[in-house]
Amino acid sequence: MAGLKQELGLAQGVGLLSTSLLGTGVFAVPALAALVAENNSLWAWPVLIVLVFPVAIVFAILGRHFPSAGGVAHFVGMAFGPRLERVTGWLFLSVIPVGLPAALHIAAGFWQAMFGWYGWQLLVAELITLALIWFVGTRGAGSSANLQSLVALLIVALIVAIWWSGDIAPSQIPFPAPQDIQPSALFAALAVMFWCFVGLEAFAHLASEFKHPERDFPRALMIGLLLAGSVYWACTVLVLHFNAYGDDRAAAASLPAIVVQLFGVQAQWVACIIGYLACFASLNIYIQSFARLVWSQAQYKPQSPLARLSKKQLPINALNAVLGCCVICTIVIYGLAINLDALIVYANGIFIIIYLLCMLAGCRLLKGRYRMLAVIGSVLCLLLLAMVGWKSLYAVIMLAALWLFLPKRAIVKSA
């Protein structure tokens, strides 16, 4: 059976990952981190990058040696067998009913800021966003990568423009001395900021679409990680410098408020458009990754429409299925007026479980220093799961339920 089209280069990969990590968080998380840790948050970003590096390297090495549209599920299957591979795939897909509608709601908030939309108008904005993602997805991974590289450049350009106009000198950056760092504040900031680096698992599904996956996939992952971390740190400097945070302010309004302060009210449109595009980019890579996972999981049944590729070697049927689920969930959540903020906290535990499964697969598949990094990554994921506390039980129960009740399937042997 033909595979997915290999069309991604290094620069496109960097654009895909960096926008996936920046996504819905770049406008909000720096203000949230400043709120809980103030100046200590400037140290939290480099600390977090150092902590995430072992996890990122394991993802990079696994993606280099075992590129597959199945992503983490494929790695887990190679390490622990097809049963846990299916469970991991379905665990990732279980984020769709909660995570994607929440991200859509955040993206639609920028339409509200621009046009004053409310209620059903925001629902229309969410459905339009899904239609745009379908359009981009039918053009291939290369088109998504080019668009998201442009979004990454726009985000960087906005941050550079604010720094330049704000005349921020290195001496003005309020770095606390190491002895003045408050550990409790640092840990509180790390708990808030970790979610900015959820996105590696989605990027893993695109490894097989690189022209040279063994060379460019790990490079794109590491460069994209550093670029996103640098942008988050630079945004935190701005939020602290302009005092654009507080209990009485919406976190996502921090950067737009700074833009208005420096460039006038008319410039708010620019900030809102870039904010929407950042959310769109994150949604796009997740939905394209879900589609590739569905296509990969459907290979056991070649006659299934979900297992087919289009003439352009794209999983269009799988993409349509994922988007159809997104539309249904979005409409149901709107109709029932469900509080997404309450539900998304439980879904976060699922991402940590997926990261943990990937690290455990690395412990089984890798050797030498890379195996040691996988062990370190496993310990880190367990600590993060403990930080989430009792709310992580949702993810643990979901994992156990899938293992117990997911129907077994016959394994089709190739001739």
Spell out the SS3 assignment of 325-342.
Answer: HHHHHHHHHHHHCCCHHH
pLDDT tens digit string along 281-304?
Answer: 888 988 998 999 899 888 888 788
Which percentage of the chain shows pLDDT scores above 90? 27
pLDDT, position 253: 75
- The confidence band for 2, taking pLDDT boundaries of 50, 70 and 90, is low
Query: Residue 14's closest CA among 231, 160, 217, 283?
Result: 217
Of 225-229, 241-245, 305-309, 408-412, the range with the lowest mean pLDDT is 408-412
pLDDT, position 414: 38
Burial class (CB in 10 A: 0-12, 13-18, 19+), 241: middle
pLDDT, position 100: 83
Residue 371 inside a domain? The answer is: yes
Q: What type of residue sits at position 288?
A: Q
Q: List the domain range (segments joined by +) for residue 109.
A: 10-405
For residue 115, give the DSSP letter: H
281-307: buried (b, 16+ CB within 10 Å) or exposed (e) per residue?
A: bbbbbbbbbbbbbbbbbbeeeeeeebb
Q: Determine the average pLDDT of the residues in 8-13.
A: 89
Residue 399 inside a domain? The answer is: yes
pLDDT tens digit string along 336-346?
Answer: 887 666 666 66
Residue 88 inside a domain? The answer is: yes
pLDDT tens digit string along 12-52?
Answer: 889 888 888 887 678 888 888 888 888 888 898 888 888 88
Residue 174 inside a domain? The answer is: yes
Residue 1 inside a domain? The answer is: no
CATH code: domain of residue 396: 1.20.1740.10
pLDDT tens digit string along 246-258?
Answer: 776 666 778 888 8
pLDDT, position 207: 85
Listed in sequence order, the DSSP H helices in 119-212 are 120-137, 141-166, 183-193, 200-203
pTM: 0.84
Structure tokens at 186: 């640092």
Question: How many separate domains does the chain show?
Answer: 1
Residue 184 inside a domain? The answer is: yes
- The confidence band for 244, taking pLDDT boundaries of 50, 70 and 90, is confident
Residue 3 inside a domain? The answer is: no
pLDDT tens digit string along 87-138?
Answer: 999 998 888 887 788 788 888 888 887 787 778 888 999 999 999 999 998 9
Q: Determine the average pLDDT of the residues in 377-395.
A: 82
pLDDT, position 255: 84
Residue 23 near residue 279, CB atoms below 8 Å: yes
Report d(CA 335, CA 344) in Å as an integer.
18
Report the phi/psi class of residue 190: left, alpha or beta, with left for phi > 0 and alpha for psi in -120 to 50: alpha
Report d(CA 16, CA 284) in Å as an integer.
9
pLDDT tens digit string along 177-195?
Answer: 778 788 888 877 887 787 7
Report d(CA 40, CA 361) in Å as an integer.
35
Half-sphere exposure of 24 (CA within 13 A, CB side): 21
Of 107-111, 261-265, 374-378, 395-399, the range with the lowest mean pLDDT is 107-111
Residue 414 inside a domain? The answer is: no
Of 33-37, 173-177, 194-198, 315-319, the range with the lowest mean pLDDT is 194-198
Residue 63 near residue 218, CB atoms below 8 Å: yes
Burial class (CB in 10 A: 0-12, 13-18, 19+), 197: buried
Q: Determine the average pLDDT of the residues in 396-411.
A: 81
Report d(CA 180, CA 162) in Å as an integer.
28
Which percentage of the chain shows pLDDT scores above 70? 94
